Chain A
Amino acid sequence: FLGRAAVAKLRVPKRYRHPALEERLSRRRMAQEARSLLRCRRAGIPAPVVYFVDYVTNSIYLEDIVDSITVQDHIYSVQKSGNDTSDLHKLAEKMGELLARMHDEDIIHGDLTTANLLLRPPTDSLDLVLIDFGLSFISGLPEDKGVDLYVLEKAFISTHPDTEAMFQVLLKTYAATSKKSGPVIKKLDEVRLRGRKRSMIG
């Protein structure tokens, strides 16, 4: 895009939706994404730069984090080669710290998975970047933050075997970094007891 590596996110119209709803939803999701990305950047939370927002085709052009790999792929490769604990421990700490900062800005990602967290090259630098804010929104409620973490926990455990310890490290760092973490962790425990909780927002 104008000389810089970019990613174009086009919202594929879901034909099963009523057109009016489709239009509204696409527009809203796109706006939410752009808003959250800007908010993240202003707070110093690594996220792609927005280059252009097209309200006609409901597409957004973002910075392409070149040669990055998803945390998901990284965990796979580390587990395959077998040097588990130390590397992943540090990564979990960084993740916890990043999420704590994000939640402290009242930004709820909405779709936290290891595939939505990128590592800039060189991978060892543990330079994380958050992506895919299409389902994100702004909220100060511990409930929403707890759910955000719960989604990540579920994603973690289902995609990566034997990572319970890693997630614990993440939570510990989260609690240590975020000033408002107490109520959030409490809510997370509550949500776990409830079972699979679906966020009712948007």
Chain B
Amino acid sequence: MERTHRLELFPERSVTLLLFQHVKNAAALRKKAMEGSMEGALINPAMIVDPFQILVAANKAVHLQKIGKMKTRTLYAEIIFSLSPSNNISDAFKKFGISDSDTAVLIVLVVDGDKNVNLADITSQVEGQQVSLDELPQLTDTAKVKKMYKVTPQEEKIGTLLDSVVCRMSTKDVL
């Protein structure tokens, strides 16, 4: 149900994604994540078009962590920041992180090596139903994503929404 992907550029790290629906304790989860008592980046699935988007963000975050050039304080915060097209950290959290009223949550974990991902620990803390990542497209708010990333109509003709999103994410700090 959950999906794990190895980062080719950082072979010792793997990224696991878990998707939950009908979540009742979003507020509590957010608090736990902020305090640091819960592992993982808690992301609003409406802003995510495809798991690839998360992987690209995670890849960038891990890279920056390795060279000590993260803009935020933790790896998970950095992942959320990397998703955002803006350079404002709090804005990134507001738009891509979960809010207290959310009923769907996407959790991203990054682990070293083949350390067993403590899934049960995470799933037990969520008061909701874990679903397969195949459900993600249904949860995506395409209009919101387009607006957030400022995707132009011409762009839509030459590629998918995911293409536009990923391109902006990866070139955010070049301009």
A130 to chain B, nearest CB (A): 11
A37 and B168 alpha carbons, distance in the complex (Å): 10
Please count the residue pairs between chain A and chain B whose beta carbons lie under 8 angstroms apart in the complex.
71
Q: What band does the interface of chain A fall in when counting residues whose beta carbon is under 8 Å from B?
A: 20 to 34
Query: Which of these binds chain A: B22-30, B59-67, B98-106, B134-142?
Result: B59-67
A2-B52, A44-B155 given; A63·B163 CB < 8 A? yes
Is A154 in contact with chain B by the CB < 8 A criterion? Answer: no
| Chain A interface helix/strand/loop/mixed | mixed
A49 and B174 alpha carbons, distance in the complex (Å): 14
| A43–B171 CB distance below 8 A | no
Is B38 in contact with chain A by the CB < 8 A criterion? Answer: no
Is B170 in contact with chain A by the CB < 8 A criterion? Answer: yes
A41 and B159 alpha carbons, distance in the complex (Å): 9
A105 and B35 alpha carbons, distance in the complex (Å): 47
Chain A residues with CB under 8 Å of B166's CB are 49-51
In the complex, per-residue mask of B133-167: 1 if CB is within 8 Å of any chain A CB, else 0: 00000000000000000001111011100011011
8 Å CB contact of B163 from A31, A43, A49, A56: A49
| B174–A2 CB distance below 8 A | no
B113 to chain A, nearest CB (A): 18
CB-CB nearest in chain B for A50 = B170
8 Å CB contact of A52 from B60, B67, B157, B168: B60
Chain B residues with CB under 8 Å of A38's CB are 167-168, 171, 174-175
A160 and B8 alpha carbons, distance in the complex (Å): 40
In the complex, per-residue mask of A125-150: 1 if CB is within 8 Å of any chain B CB, else 0: 00000000000000000000000000
A111 to chain B, nearest CB (A): 19
| A44–B157 CB distance below 8 A | yes
Chain B residues with CB under 8 Å of A43's CB are 152, 154-155
Is A34 in contact with chain B by the CB < 8 A criterion? Answer: yes
CB-CB nearest in chain A for B170 = A50
A51 and B59 alpha carbons, distance in the complex (Å): 10
Is B56 in contact with chain A by the CB < 8 A criterion? Answer: yes
A41 and B170 alpha carbons, distance in the complex (Å): 13
A51-B170, A52-B60, A54-B63 given; A2·B158 CB < 8 A? no
Q: What band does the interface of chain B fall in when counting residues whose beta carbon is under 8 Å from A?
A: 20 to 34
Chain B residues with CB under 8 Å of A31's CB are 174
| A56–B170 CB distance below 8 A | no
CB-CB nearest in chain A for B165 = A49
A52 and B174 alpha carbons, distance in the complex (Å): 11
Chain B residues with CB under 8 Å of A56's CB are 63, 67
| A41–B175 CB distance below 8 A | no
| A52–B56 CB distance below 8 A | yes
Is A4 in contact with chain B by the CB < 8 A criterion? Answer: yes
B28 to chain A, nearest CB (A): 32
CB-CB nearest in chain B for A4 = B52
12 other A-B residue contacts (CB within 8 Å) besides A1-B8, A2-B59, A44-B154: A2-B8, A3-B55, A31-B174, A34-B171, A37-B167, A37-B171, A38-B171, A38-B175, A44-B152, A50-B166, A52-B60, A53-B173
Q: List 19 A-B contacts (CB under 8 A).
A: A2-B5, A2-B52, A3-B5, A3-B52, A3-B55, A4-B52, A34-B170, A34-B171, A35-B174, A38-B168, A38-B171, A41-B164, A41-B167, A44-B152, A44-B158, A45-B158, A49-B159, A50-B170, A52-B60
